[in-house]
Structure formats: C-alpha cells, structure tokens
Amino acid sequence: MLATVQRVSEAQVQIENRIYSEIGSGLLIFVCIEKEDSIKSITAMVTKIINFRMLDGPKGSTAYSLKDTNEDALVISQFTLAAITGKGNKPSFHKSAKPEEAKLLYDEFMSLFETAYGNVKQGKFGAFMEISLINKGPITFNFKT
C-alpha cells in the first residue's frame, strides 16, 4: 500500500461541481492499493499514519501525531500513486490492484481508520474528483507498507 500525506489548513473534494466532503486543519491522505496488498499492509498503514508525528505541537512542526490531536483527516483513493514512470512517456499502472479488489481493501482501510480515529472524511472511490487544498508547511510524507 502507498500513501502520500499532506498537512493542510483545509481541503475539499468536489464531485460533479458539488462539495462532497471537506476538512479544516489536518491531513489530506491519498492512498493507493497495490496488487500485493493485504489486510496486514492495510492495518500497518492505518497504524503508521495515525501514529506518525507530522503535526504542529509545542516542540515544533513534527511534534504531534494525528492520535495526539483533534485535527481532521480526509482520505482520497488514488491509484496513480502506483504509476511506473521510468520508461517511455506513458505511465504504467500494472502494480495497482484491480478496481474490485482495491475497493474491498480501501473499504477495510476506511473502517480501520474510522475505528482508530473517528475524525475522518473521505472522497468517493472510483469517482472523478476535484481536490482543492491549502498545503501547510509545505509538509508532505510518502509511506509504503
């Protein structure tokens, strides 16, 4: 599983020109399910993101983890994180899970995330979404499990 996590002042998802979900200060989390992923990798990613110190606190800009705060989280499924871009001029997505398999693991990821940290919203799996955000820092981290 892959994730790109950005600290944001705010973020919003629009689908068909309507606001689908939005958050204030917190984390915008783009996740990608790969072919080899399992419940184990999904669980590890939830644990990593919730416990990783990347939020502001009294000791600096990476003092608190999500679990230490009441910040918002917004999760967006994004299969293009698995793009292979090293050859030619067109991306290859052969490492991404098939949509049906990815949806099952994405739903499991969301269920685990919501159980571990209730202050979370999401985009719509498989939809064309327009994402707007104000990156805070900018601070962005990439994770792989």
116 neighbors 109 (Cβ within 8 angstroms): no
13 neighbors 74 (Cβ within 8 angstroms): yes
Asked, as a colleague might, if the bond just before 138 is cis with ω within 30 of 0, I would say: yes
Catalytic residue among 30, 79, 109, 113: 79
C-alpha distances in angstroms, 62 versus 34, 66, 67, 140? 28, 11, 13, 11
Give backbone dihedrals phi and psi of 136, rounded to 5 degrees, phi first. -105, 115
Catalytic residue among 78, 109, 122, 145: 78
* 79 among known catalytic residues: yes
Give backbone dihedrals phi and psi of 101, rounded to 5 degrees, phi first. -70, -40
* 6 among known catalytic residues: no
* 141 among known catalytic residues: no
What are 6's strand-pairing partners?
Answer: 28, 140
81 neighbors 2 (Cβ within 8 angstroms): yes
Hey, which residues are catalytic here?
A: 78-80
